[in-house]
């Protein structure tokens, strides 16, 4: 009898051990396969999220972003957004991969898989950086109604999505004024990434600002067809500079790196030549450095970093502005221009730009953002 009892106890104990081991294997398999995407194909395997329910630091709230094809180090739009998320994370004692992270998109086809991966990794707030992610954010927001999403430079009508926009036409107007004041040839240029409402606003604002100083100024516009085409940007810049256009503004993300490379090459070959590039989205002064000179005249900045930082704090505090459209303009200091290059942005140029800035803020003038509005503005000059 005792032997049978002991044998029964041993069998029950063994069964419990086997069951426990089996459950553990099942959980690991789910954890390893649930995201439905291969992180390596998207160039990033660090989007860990808060799988254990904690992000560390002084908050459990987690934030991540998906870049467009320009990449997180595009020295422009994506980089500015990542700097804002990084600043937010560090403010709350978090670290990359432990509270905040990003996934980089190498092609347009990566947008939705990247967004899905971050949502399944249990991030609380996920940003799509750039208008090209509009459809992806709209689709994934429906799949994950309990999560928060943000779209930058576009609008998605959903209760769990905040749309973040900027008055790009206003900052572009100011650098257009600076370009018209700086040019010696009265011939300037604009390089766009892809044709869209956003880039149209950059172009139109720049042209309106330049024409406000000189209605007869010659402005050439050319689009590269993408935001990751530095070689194409260099070719376009080369053509424009060869036409004696001595100031060129780009709104082209990583494509704009080609503009800076071409301007620096020309300056190296002819140090006495007056040649300038105007940056976009963040202060691109560093991109213009060459020996003891800098070819970056100014940059039309939009504080994507400040915007994502502010919205992340709002969401963390339980005040996520879902369904809202937030607009950052000159008046709210969401956009502006830089004066880092003191040798190029002389005080007389700054004074003139500031004068136009006050007119915009006060409402004395309304900067157009569309081609038809530009025509009306031109007729009023």
Per domain, the residue ranges of the chain are 56-166+303-335, 168-301+346-380
Please give the pLDDT value at position 120.
Answer: 97
Task: Reply yes or no on whether the pLDDT at 48 is more than 80.
Answer: no
Task: Reply yes or no on whether the pLDDT at 46 is more than 50.
Answer: no
- Report the candidate in 200, 132, 131 with the shortest Cα–Cα distance to residue 172: 200
Q: Give the CATH number of domain 168-301+346-380; options: 3.90.550.10, 3.20.20.70, 3.40.50.2300, 3.50.50.60.
A: 3.40.50.2300
Same fold, 56-166+303-335 and 168-301+346-380: yes
- What sign for the dihedral angle of Cα 65, 68, 69, 72? negative
Task: Reply yes or no on whether the pLDDT at 131 is more than 60.
Answer: yes
Answer for the pair 267, 286: CB distance below 8 angstroms, yes or no: no
Task: Reply yes or no on whether the pLDDT at 22 is more than 70.
Answer: no
Task: Reply yes or no on whether the pLDDT at 6 is more than 80.
Answer: no
CA 31 to each of CA 26, 244, 249: distance values in angstroms, whole numbers, following the listed order: 9, 59, 47
Q: How confident is the model at residue 28 (pLDDT cuts 50, 70, 90)?
A: very low
- The predicted-structure confidence for 213-244, as pLDDT tens digits, reads as follows 999 999 999 999 999 999 999 999 999 999 99
CATH number of 56-166+303-335: 3.40.50.2300
Q: Give the predicted TM-score (pTM) of the model.
A: 0.79
Task: For residues 352 and 180, give the distance between their C-alpha atoms in angstroms, rounded to a whole number.
Answer: 11
Task: Reply yes or no on whether the pLDDT at 246 is more than 80.
Answer: yes
Task: Reply yes or no on whether the pLDDT at 313 is more than 90.
Answer: yes
Task: For residues 173 and 180, give the distance between their C-alpha atoms in angstroms, rounded to a whole number.
Answer: 11
Task: Reply yes or no on whether the pLDDT at 23 is more than 50.
Answer: no
Q: Which residue has the higher pLDDT, 150 or 37?
A: 150
Task: Reply yes or no on whether the pLDDT at 17 is more than 60.
Answer: no
Q: How confident is the model at residue 55 (pLDDT cuts 50, 70, 90)?
A: low
Q: Which residue has the higher pLDDT, 246 or 44?
A: 246
Q: Which residue has the tokens 């904690």?
A: 54
- The predicted-structure confidence for 151-178, as pLDDT tens digits, reads as follows 999 999 999 999 999 999 999 999 999 9
Q: How confident is the model at residue 56 (pLDDT cuts 50, 70, 90)?
A: low
Q: Which residue has the tokens 């769990």?
A: 160
Answer for the pair 254, 76: CB distance below 8 angstroms, yes or no: yes
- The predicted-structure confidence for 69-117, as pLDDT tens digits, reads as follows 988 998 888 999 999 999 999 999 999 999 999 999 999 999 999 999 9
């Amino acid at each position: 009898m005792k032997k049978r009892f002991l044998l029964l106890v041993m069998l029950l104990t063994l069964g419990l051990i086997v069951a426990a081991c089996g459950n553990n294997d099942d959980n690991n398999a789910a954890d390893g396969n649930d995201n439905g995407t291969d992180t390596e194909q998207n160039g990033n395997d660090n989007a860990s999220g808060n799988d254990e329910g904690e992000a560390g630091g002084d908050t459990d709230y987690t934030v991540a972003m998906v870049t467009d094809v320009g990449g997180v180090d595009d020295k422009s739009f994506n980089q500015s957004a990542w700097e804002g998320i990084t600043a937010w994370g560090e403010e709350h004692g978090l670290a990359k991969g432990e509270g905040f992270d990003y996934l980089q998109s190498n092609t347009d086809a990566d947008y939705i898989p990247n967004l899905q991966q971050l949502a399944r990794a249990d991030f609380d707030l996920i940003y799509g950086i750039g208008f090209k992610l509009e459809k992806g954010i709209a689709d994934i927001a429906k799949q994950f109604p309990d999560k928060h999403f943000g779209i930058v430079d576009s609008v998605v009508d959903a209760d769990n999505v905040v749309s973040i926009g900027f008055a790009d036409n206003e900052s572009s107007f100011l650098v257009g004024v600076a370009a018209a004041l700086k040019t010696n040839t009265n011939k300037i240029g604009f390089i766009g990434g892809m044709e869209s409402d956003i880039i149209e606003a950059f172009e139109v604002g720049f042209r309106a600002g330049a024409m406000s100083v000189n209605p007869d100024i010659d402005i050439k516009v050319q689009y590269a067809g993408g935001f990751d085409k530095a070689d194409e940007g260099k070719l376009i810049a080369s053509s424009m500079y060869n036409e004696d256009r001595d100031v060129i503004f780009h709104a082209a993300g990583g494509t704009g790196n080609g503009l800076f490379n071409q301007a620096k090459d020309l300056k190296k070959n002819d140090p006495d030549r007056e040649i300038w590039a105007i940056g976009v989205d963040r202060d691109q002064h560093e991109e213009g450095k060459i020996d003891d000179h800098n070819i970056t005249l100014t940059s039309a900045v939009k504080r994507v970093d400040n915007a994502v930082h502010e919205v992340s704090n709002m969401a963390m505090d339980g005040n996520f502005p879902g369904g809202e459209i937030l607009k950052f303009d000159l008046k709210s200091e969401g956009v502006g221009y830089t004066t880092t290059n003191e040798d190029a942005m002389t005080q007389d140029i700054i004074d003139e730009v500031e004068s136009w800035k006050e007119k915009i803020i006060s409402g004395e003038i309304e900067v157009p953002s569309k081609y038809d509005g530009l025509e009306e503005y031109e007729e009023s000059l």
